[in-house]
Structure 1
Amino acid sequence: MRAANFSSQFGKFFTVERTLLIILVTALLLRFLFLDLKLLHHDEAIHSWFSINLLRDGIHSYSYDPVYHGPFLYFITSGMFGLFGSGDLIARIIPSLLGTFAVGLIYPIYKLGYLDGRQTIIAGLFIAISPSMVYFSRFLRNDILILFFTLVLLVSVLYYLEKNELKYVISGAAAIGFAMSCKENVPIILLIFGVYILYLFYTKKAVLPKYWIRDLIIAIALAAGIMAVLYSSFGAYPQIIIDGPSEAINHWLSMHEEQRLGGPFYYYIILFLLYELPILVLAIFGIFSFLKKHDLKNTNLKQNFEDECEGRPDVDADAEKSEINEEIKKKILKPIAKIDKNREFTRFCIFWMLASLAIYAYIGEKVPWLILHQLIPMIFVAVYDLSRLKIWICAAGVIFLALMMVHVSFTPADISEPIVQVQNSEDLRDVMVFVDFADRVAISNEVRWPFVWYYVDDYPKKIAYYSEGYDSSIGPEDYDVIILHDGEGITDISGYSKYTYKKCYWIDVYNLVQSTRYKADLTDENYRNAVIGDVKRLLSYYFTRDTNLGSINLDVFVKNRQAA
């Protein structure tokens, strides 16, 4: 009896709201603890450098360039630097905050009835501890910001379809405006959302609000206004409003063709298998569960009409075509089919997930942070129809996700993981000790990043960059430290000691998969042996994460008196 009473009290305390709050606090801690544990990635250093220059040199120092994506990231990061000072930790605060708030945005979806309590808790937990979600919430790139704005848009659309209130038009339009000011892949999201909304109207699962034209005009004006202000650098470069879209389209079409950072069409499936395996498995279960079930039948409108009219003297139920009956029908019968909210939301998320997987598989540029835009709908699909078996998979999955998340986000060393893409090596901390204690430092332009960011205050007084390769004419006697790309092949500088460090690193895929060196021919014994070897290495890697790293290396020459 006492055990049953305790269980009852336990259940009453851990309501959906309290449980989600605990998950939210957990997400906050995971995103902010040791936020500067790892050095900034190459891209993060560039974004930070643009932002600090924007703060120091004013609005005219920034002009939109599609190579570096939209302006929102720079303006918001510059504002953080202005408020709290510059640094790695400050640079990552906004991504960490919005990555945390993404967990909280599950709650309004639950309040509208599109998710039940268990789905809400598990979806929130998955977002809170997902390795990809946590890693890229601690990372100064646009994608976690876009994910946050995507969820704001989703919530706004759901509330608008239910309540038809202007405030949801404003919140949704603002989300679009800010998201479009982040990065050029947002139109993909808008296209997916737009197609499904049209489907809802076409099937009469949703009806156009009375003032939809007014609301559409307001939404377009607000979103376009936000974009115009940010892309023009608050009016400093108004021509960008006209030229920017074509520049962005031309640039990213060329990147798609070039495949500068290419990969196979199944690139993101590999990432899901490595980092989000339980979510992927549950999503597959979710799709099969969805297909097995059938939609609720539409309400029998004729029977509904007869039931509603029973006992009403002003209606002749037999004279269906009378004017008064037609008027009563308009009042009684809703022009919308009865739908299961949870099921319809899952239908949308399946469409969203499959469309995203297909589009990003096709796009030539393959980078790990784009997994976020495929992962968020997958999480919603994964929590559909939570049977007892799926609950057990969720429990085991949480352990898997937590262990992997700790590994990729909190290992204070170089890790052989594709999620890091090309990450600056922790070896650079040793190099920076030499730089910090030097009076004058020469650095080759070949390896200037991330030094440009970390020593932004020391150029040109302390730091000198040169672009033509090492030449003794630069006057080595004038420098305490000389940092070169090891590819420059300088073996010795008189009076200096030489040290070699990794600058940046990546997982050596070609060491893991060696069958690509042969023509794909199963009759060839060498090819068959190579494939067998690949399978063994990949299985070993999956469980040990032990494989070679590729790297760009630095040759650091330190004046002997300083080395001593």
Structure 2
Amino acid sequence: MSLGERPFSAWAPRNRALSGLLAITVLSIALRLFGLGSRVAHWDEARVGYWILRYQKTGVFEYHAVIHGPFFPQVNSILFQLFGASDFMARLPVALITGLLPLAAWLYRDHLCESEMVALALFLAVNPILLYYSRFMRNDVLLAAFMLFALGFFLRAHATGKARYLYAGTAAMALGFTTKENVLLYLLSWVGAGALLLDHRLFLARNHERGWTGVFIEYAKRAGRGISRFAPHILLCLFEFFAIIVYFYAPRARGVEGPGLWKAVGNPSMFGAVISEATVGSWAELNNQWVKSQGHAYLPYFEHFVSVLEQGALPLLVFAVIGFLAARYVDERPRDLVSFAFYWGAVGILGYPLVTDIKAGWVTAHVVAPLAIPAAVGVALLYRWGREAYEDDDDTGTAAAALVALLVVAQVAFPAVNFVYMHPQDHQVPGMFGGQQDNYLVQFGQPADGIGPTLEKMQAVSKANQQGTDVLYYGYVNEQSSYIFYVPDESDNDYWKPANGWYNRLPLPWYTELADANVDSTMQNETLENRKPPVVISRTEKQPDLDKHLPGYVAYDHELTLYGSETTVYIKKSALRNADMSA
């Protein structure tokens, strides 16, 4: 053994929990990076990705609540500039940040024992829901990660009195505010869970000699002393918070009128307008989006939400209930963190189906993340029972604990492999016990499997084409008098807000923009006869009309969503030969 190896070999046994968390974190990152760019972009990924590419070209950015927070436009635009844009690079920030989630368990070491921290890290690393959406350019798991870190840092600040944890927690929370607007629901959940914990104390104080009012005053004084301890740092933390918010939300206005962050660097008198747009203006935009949101029936959304949880987090839910009950009724006194996290997650099961605007599995991440804490307590309890049975030579107890552990591993491993890696784009997937089952983790806007090779061909021929239109959409007017694929003026899609007919094209605009393709659209057959672009795209229902106008083309039929969006991509055979690709 070399001298360089001895320090770690001596350190690891003394720090078993931390070394275990580090090992799980390595696994967590590896699971998220493996094949990260293999799945074709979801409708939502493509929409945001397209606008990031347009932001790079135009230098113009404004916050739009409909595509959520500005984290991706600001972070990914830098990554794209440095390393090039791709599906892999678009998802990399989410994969890396959420891959570090197991380390968040270390921040809760004042409230969890070693086995509970390891169990929490494992849940955060391999839970199928968190894993699937950690490989997705989407804000939800990112927000959950930032807020788990933020809470952990704040708890460490309270436990140690060290201000550095307060600054770290403030930064994590501010970054959470840059991801998605339902960060406000996190704060409301925290306030509600904290109120329930206080109610525990006041209820138990009914027969106390000071009464519940005296106990309430005592806790108020404790809170005041805790705040006063950090008084010199609170103003700096507020400045830190708003500096991060302003940087991310501030408009960029290169080459156009209006306030812009980098303009203000050269013209400091503009900073007031920039800060106003980043704060007051962003809040007004968010409120406006909320006003536009339409209500929906609750039960169908609740049933879908529960179906996703059942498919991707059933063991976690079961152990969360066990951990909560054990920490509340078995331990000498209720454990605040366990109760707090259980209330935080449980209210989300009832609340998120009400506030979400579409049926999407990613919203369950906001419930899974907090419930992982009481679930870790439940798993650690099973581990201790099994260990005690083994040490007592209780073969029956040991076998029972081992059997339950195997069932839990199977219930986590099968959906993780099945949904995340083998069938991330399929509406129907093989069931654990045979047959087929619906894949509730995959959202409707995900293109069906098989479109990837066609997209590669489309991009290759677009890059090889030297003149004229590279990709031509053949559109029409539907029964609701809306354009499908057709946009009267394609330049309308260069800046927000794009034309209505553009949305039907998703996720294709992300891939055409990656190839820097010259895109146009038409509703006239004569255009097909006269221009003969290398790629023509239309709904498959128009194929009988188009085939006679496109001899010498190969037709590829695909779904742009899971189902109901049959689209045909025509690629000219000669263009494929020029791009050195086979049909």
Note whether the superposition's TM-score is higher than 0.5. yes
Determine the C-alpha separation between the residues in 1 that align with 2:170 and 2:45: 28
Aligned Cα root-mean-square deviation (Å): 3.0
Give the CA deviation at 1:560. Answer: 6.2
Q: Counterpart of 2:560?
A: 504
CA distance in structure 1 between the aligned counterparts of 2:424 and 2:127, rounded to whole angstroms: 20
User: What is residue 283 of structure 1 aligned with on the other side?
Assistant: 320
Q: Secondary structure at the match of 2:173?
A: helix
Measured after TM superposition, the shift of residue 175 of structure 1 is 1.6
Task: Confirm whether residue 133 of structure 1 aligns to residue 126 of structure 2.
Answer: no
Distance 2:289 2:153 in 1: 32
Given that 2:559 and 2:567 are in contact with CA atoms closer than 8 Å, whether structure 1 keeps it comes out as yes
TM, length-normalised to structure 2: 0.72
Q: 1:455 aligns with which of 489, 509, 512?
A: 512
Q: Which secondary structure state, in structure 1, belongs to the residue aligned with residue 302 of structure 2?
A: coil
- 1:30-429 equivalences under 5 Å are 30-58=31-59, 61-110=60-109, 112=110, 114-197=111-194, 202=216, 204=219, 207-208=223-224, 209=226, 210-233=228-251, 235-236=260-261, 237=274, 238-257=276-295, 263-293=300-330, 296=333, 343-365=335-357, 366-385=359-378, 386-387=381-382, 388=385, 393-411=404-422, 414-416=425-427, 417-421=439-443, 422-429=445-452
- Counterpart in the other structure of 2:23: 22
How far did 1:67 drift?
0.7
CA distance, structure 2, for counterparts of residue 136 and residue 258 of structure 1: 25
Q: Deviations over 1:247-269 (max 9, x none)?
A: 2123134325268x994323221
Task: Report if the CA contact (8 A) 2:245-2:278 is conserved.
Answer: no
Q: CA, structure 1 residues 377+486, in 2 after alignment: closer, same or farther (shift >3 Å)?
A: same
Q: Deviations over 1:23-67 (max 9, x none)?
A: 111111101111111111111122222223333332xx1110111
Q: Deviations over 1:51-106 (max 9, x none)?
A: 23333332xx1110111111112111111112212111111111110111111111
CA distance in 2, matches of 1:93, 1:141: 11
* Residues 380-437 of structure 1, C-alpha deviations (whole Å, 9 max, x = no match): 1112251337775344212221221111121267422221202123332242354223
What residue is the counterpart of 1:331 in the other structure? none
Q: Is contact 1:37-1:410 (8 Å) kept?
A: no
Write the letter of the residue equivalent to 1:345: L
SS in 2 for 1:505: coil
Residues 168 and 495 (structure 1 numbering): CA distance in 2 closer, same or farther, change over 3 Å?
closer
What amino acid is the match of 1:346? V
1:174 Cα deviation from its structure 2 partner: 1.4
Q: Is the 8 A contact 1:502 1:553 kept in 2?
A: yes
Contact 2:28 2:125 in 1 (8 A): yes
Distance 1:165 1:14, change over 3 A: closer
Aligned pair count?
Answer: 459
Mapped pair 1:553 → 2:571 = no
2: distance between equivalents of 1:156 and 1:14? Answer: 20
**Contact 1:103 1:124 survives alignment (8 Å):** yes
Q: In the alignment, which residue of structure 2 is the partner of 1:325?
A: none
Cα–Cα, structure 1 residues 221 and 372, in superposed 2: closer, same or farther, change >3 Å? same
Question: Given that residues 137 and 144 in structure 1 are in contact (C-alpha distance below 8 angstroms), is that contact kept between their aligned partners in structure 2?
Answer: yes
Change in Cα spacing, 1:375 to 1:495, as seen in structure 2 (3 Å) is closer
Find the aligned partners of 1:414 and 1:149 in 2 and give their Cα distance: 27
Q: Structure 1 residues 550-559 or 377-386, which shifts more?
A: 550-559
In 2, the alpha carbon distance for the partners of 1:115 and 1:166 equals 22
Distance change (3 Å), C-alpha of 1:457 and 1:273: closer
Contact 2:33–2:95 under 8 Å retained in 1: yes
CA contact (8 A) 2:328 2:339 kept: no
- Offset of 1:199 from its aligned partner? 6.2
* Percentage identity across paired residues of the two chains: 21
Question: Normalised by the size of structure 1, how large is the TM-score?
Answer: 0.74
Which whole-Å CA distance do the structure 2 matches of 1:242 and 1:451 have between them? 35
What amino acid sits opposite 1:505 in the alignment?
Answer: T
Please tell me whether the aligned partners of residues 443 and 482 of structure 1 are also in contact (alpha carbons under 8 angstroms). yes
Alpha-carbon separation, structure 1, partners of 2:418 and 2:37? 16
Deviation at 1:196, TM superposition (A): 4.1
CA contact (8 A) 1:39 1:88 kept: yes
Greater C-alpha radius of gyration = 1
For structure 1, the 5+ residue unaligned runs are 1-8, 297-339, 507-549
